[in-house]
Amino acid sequence: MEIKVYKKRGMRLLPNSFKTVGVIVVLTSFTVAVLIKCLWPQFGIDIMPLLLIDLIIIGLFLISISKDKIEDERIMFIRLNAMAFAFGFATIYTLVAPFVPPMFGDLIKDITGQVVIMNMLMMYLIWFWLLKRTGKNEK
């Protein structure tokens, strides 16, 4: 009789130090965006916002796929719940957001992929943080 042993494979995540890298990328991009907007409003009107939003998305992504200091099954379950919530939020946002401006007299606006991805990553990080903090109080 042969017994098969299956290894549990969890998510492959980046080391915890990448959270710091992600935070630095987000803060630097945000600071550069504010400085450019305040000091040189005519500079890079077309290309600069796209590049800075891309850098913010990269930073948020690095934060979201980095391990916690203690990575266990509870954290993996919280990650799954947070991702499900973020996906649901992004779906509802994509369906509802174009129709909000006409309620106030504006034209229907298209939603870019950057906006959807950035909202999804931000909601994932917020929901993950909230679930992680409230889970510690249930002990």
Residue type, 120: M
pLDDT for residue 136: 55
In 5-128, the DSSP E strands lie at: none
User: Comparing 11-15, 115-119, 122-126, which segment has the lowest mean pLDDT?
Assistant: 11-15
Half-sphere exposure of 31 (CA within 13 A, CB side): 6
d(C-alpha 121, C-alpha 93), whole Å: 13
Total count of residues recorded for the chain: 139
> Which letter does DSSP use for residue 78 in this model?
H
What band does 137 get if pLDDT is binned at 50, 70 and 90?
very low
Q: What's this model's pTM, rounded to 2 decimal places? A: 0.79
The pLDDT tens digits for 47-96 are 677 788 899 999 999 999 998 888 888 888 999 999 999 999 999 998 88
Q: Tell me the domain boundaries of the chain.
A: 15-67, 69-139
The pLDDT tens digits for 98-112 are 888 777 777 767 778
Q: Is the pLDDT of residue 8 over 70?
A: no
Q: Indicate the average pLDDT of the chain.
A: 83
Q: What angle do CA 29, 62, 109 make, to 5 degrees?
A: 60
Q: Is the pLDDT of residue 24 over 90?
A: yes
* Angstrom distances, CA of residue 87 to CA of 17, 28, 54, 92, 110: 26, 27, 19, 9, 19
